[in-house]
Amino acid sequence: MCGIVAALSHHDVVPFLIEGLRRLEYRGYDSAGLATLTGQHLQRFRAVGRVKELEEASAGHAAPLGIAHTRWATHGAVTQDNAHPHRSERDGRSVCVVHNGIIENHAELREALRERGYVFASQTDTEVVAHLVHEARGRTASLAEAVRMARAQLRGAYALGIVCSDDPRTLVVARQAAPLMLGLTAHQQSVFVASDASALVSQTQTLVYLEDGDQAVITQVSESSPVVVRIEDMQGAALVRESTTTSLTHDDVDLGPYAHYMQKEMAEQPGAVAATLETVVGAGSLAPGLFGSEAEGLFPQVQRVLILACGTSYHSGLVARYWLEDIAGLPTSVEIASEYRYRKSVAEPGTLVITISQSGETADTLAALEHAKAQGQQLTLSICNVPESSLIRASRLRFLTRAGPEIGVASTKAFTTQLAALYLLTLVLAKVRGVLSPGAEAEAIQSLRHLPAALASVLTAEPEFQAWAAEFVEKEHALFLGRGIHSPIAMEGALKLKEISYIHAEAYAAGELKHGPLALVDANMPIVAVAPNDQLAEKLRSNLEEVRARGGVLYVVADQGAGIEPSDGVRVIELGDHAGALSPILHVVPLQMLAYHVALARGHDVDKPRNLAKSVTVE
Ligand code: G6P
């Protein structure tokens, strides 16, 4: 959460800082700020609200060096005083700092700094960093050294950008357990910095990813000299970090003709799933190598599966449990990462620990993986959408979903691509275990080939779901029902609705209705049911009868032939034929579209729902 951009250039960097923040706004959007250094003149602009407020506050300002930040509050309320950059100003020296992450020992550092005469203007953990650097800069002639001295006192996670009025044409950035990367340009006219590549690709595709502990010192000898970068370790020794060319382009992160990123990302699902499956559908058969070079040796050792994830990624794990047990015959448990990381569990040998994450930076998922490893779990696999993420680096085996950047806070294409990846994994494990016949394998690959077209066909029903949405606008509560492998889809539908429309939504396995939730059902409670034409269709129909008998209005997303006819109080939208094992991947899309249109109709900011953030990098 939170986003950082910074730059030193021959040109004015303020337009880049504002545009970069706009790209990162999805990571945090309660306040924003920037600080620029021109010669020794340090100037700061901050605004509560969106980046456009900051743009107005800093209109007309130009500078060759700056740091900027968009915030998602962790320590301290959403106020201008708590917005970054934080400043330490005393004895004619001014230091400004932007920070992502959490300084765990901020309380004790704050106390000690107060005793040494520093006055705090915010409730944030970040402000201690500004004062520590300020203090250290009084004791050493170099900002880089001062930052190192300050960092030696910090505990926690951080990506930092720092400027000081004593150090014209100098920008110091550092990384510890929070992503940070540099963007390099030809002829060394500029160096850009960001916490996420999407903020850099408008300028350059040549990136250098900093590693934990790294500090980069970006300087210019004079206004017209090249901008140079020196990457150092915690002792100040130079490090070599290779540059890479990202495949991410400006178009990938551009909204294009869409009204919202969520709309764009829902529409991209056929392409994203096709890209994720690309290497497989071309080939006639599946191989462990899809999951990393070690997979061939490790997969035969797998006797059970433990899946750890948060939010929507957790729901994809719940769906995968059905596949892994049914098709591969592997006992599977799925746990919320934030719970598992603090639980004393029994580590069983032969467990494949799968972490699933769109961002690969979710703090709880990373900690859960570390917890599993500390318990001796050796077989680790991550399914993730960001190749350079911390999660990918922390696992032995990996599979990259190729959804492209997901910017809308409500996850859509990340979910469907995760499901595609988990289905592939199931097939590969089933094959390794000798329980997938060549015929079944060929049939499964054939159905995967058809999946993007099937998704595209579901998307064409959008106007029908938009019409349903109008009936939800005034509602305060909604119930989602599903059975079997579609009960996690009902959970995902309820999550989508609550996070962007703010309607209280709960999901139940339909068979559980009589054990409580039926008491809630009346004419004011819309009930959304996922009704595939599978072996549970009959049972689901009885559950829906029970609801109808209590006056509840049903909104049923049904496969053709599911046997649910529209009638008074029963709205039905039919999808295509039952898609077999892949059915959950199709059935979630209508629920995404419904949530999107309900949120729009209620006048909400669909991409940036209140109180949430895209990537939860703090506990
Ligand atoms: C946040 C996002 C969700 C996401 C969850 C896990 O809550 O708003 O959309 O599902 O984090 O994120 P991850 O990046 O680990 O999938």
User: 95-143: per-residue pLDDT in tens?
Assistant: 999 999 889 999 999 999 999 999 999 999 999 999 999 999 999 999 9
* The pLDDT of residue 491: 98
Count CA atoms within 13 Å of residue 477 on its CB side.
Answer: 12
Is 311 a pocket residue for ligand 1 (Cβ < 6 Å)? yes
Distances (CA, A) of 291 to 15, 209, 359, 585, 616: 41, 23, 18, 21, 26
d(CA 47, CA 83): 7
Handedness of CA 257, 263, 267, 271 (dihedral sign): positive
Q: Which residue, judged by its Cα, is nearest atom 7 of ligand 1?
A: 311
Per the DSSP assignment, residues forming a β-bridge with 429 are none
Is 337 a pocket residue for ligand 1 (Cβ < 6 Å)? no
The DSSP code sequence of 376-396 is T--EEEEEES-TTSHHHHH-S
Is residue 593 within 8 Å of residue 465, measured between CB atoms? yes
Q: Copy the structure tokens of residue 136.
A: 């250290």
Mean pLDDT of the region 235-253: 90
Chain centroid, CA 605 distance in Å: 18
Q: Copy the structure tokens of residue 263.
A: 């709309």
Atom number of ligand 1 nearest to Cα 391: 15
Is 501 a pocket residue for ligand 1 (Cβ < 6 Å)? no
Cα(309) to centroid(ligand 1), Å = 9
Is 3 a pocket residue for ligand 1 (Cβ < 6 Å)? no
* The pLDDT of residue 614: 78
d(CA 521, CA 525): 6
Q: How many residues in the chain?
A: 619
Of 431, 496, 498, 614, the catalytic one is: 614
* The pLDDT of residue 252: 83
469-473: long-range contacts, CB 8 A cutoff, minimum separation 24: 469/594, 469/597, 469/598, 469/600, 469/601, 470/601, 471/526, 471/553, 472/497, 472/501, 472/503, 472/526, 472/594, 472/598, 472/601, 473/598, 473/601, 473/602
* The pLDDT of residue 319: 98
Mean pLDDT of the region 517-532: 90
Atom number of ligand 1 nearest to Cα 409: 8
Q: Copy the structure tokens of residue 103.
A: 């300084």
Is 36 a pocket residue for ligand 1 (Cβ < 6 Å)? no
Mean pLDDT of the region 156-160: 93
Is 403 a pocket residue for ligand 1 (Cβ < 6 Å)? no
Cα(152) to centroid(ligand 1), Å = 31
**614 an active-site residue?**
yes
d(CA 359, CA 373): 20
Q: 332 falls in which pLDDT band (50, 70, 90)?
A: very high
Mean pLDDT of the region 572-599: 95
pLDDT reading at 26 higher than 80 = no
* The pLDDT of residue 251: 81
Cα(415) to centroid(ligand 1), Å = 10
Is residue 589 within 8 Å of residue 463, measured between CB atoms? no
Is 216 a pocket residue for ligand 1 (Cβ < 6 Å)? no
Cα(614) to centroid(ligand 1), Å = 6
Q: What is the mean pLDDT of the chain?
A: 94
* The pLDDT of residue 250: 82
d(CA 613, CA 73): 10
Q: Which residue, judged by its Cα, is nearest atom 2 of ligand 1?
A: 614
User: Which pTM was predicted?
Assistant: 0.87
Work out the widest C-alpha separation in the chain, in whole angstroms. 79
User: 318-330: per-residue pLDDT in tens?
Assistant: 999 999 999 999 9
User: 355-401: per-residue pLDDT in tens?
Assistant: 999 999 999 999 999 999 999 999 999 999 998 888 998 999 999 99
User: 461-483: per-residue pLDDT in tens?
Assistant: 999 999 999 999 999 999 999 99
Q: 248 falls in which pLDDT band (50, 70, 90)?
A: confident
Chain centroid, CA 77 distance in Å: 23
User: 40-50: per-residue pLDDT in tens?
Assistant: 999 999 999 88
Is 612 a pocket residue for ligand 1 (Cβ < 6 Å)? yes
Mean pLDDT of the region 250-273: 93
Is 313 a pocket residue for ligand 1 (Cβ < 6 Å)? yes
> Best of 366, 391, 411 to mutate for ligand 1, by most ligand atoms within 8 A of CB?
411
d(CA 76, CA 500): 24
**Which has the closest alpha carbon to 251: 197, 192, 202?**
202
* The pLDDT of residue 241: 96
**539 an active-site residue?**
no
**Which has the closest alpha carbon to 194: 87, 382, 68, 347?**
68
Q: 1 falls in which pLDDT band (50, 70, 90)?
A: low
> Best of 312, 385, 417, 608 to mutate for ligand 1, by most ligand atoms within 8 A of CB?
312
In the 8-state DSSP scheme, what is residue 552? P
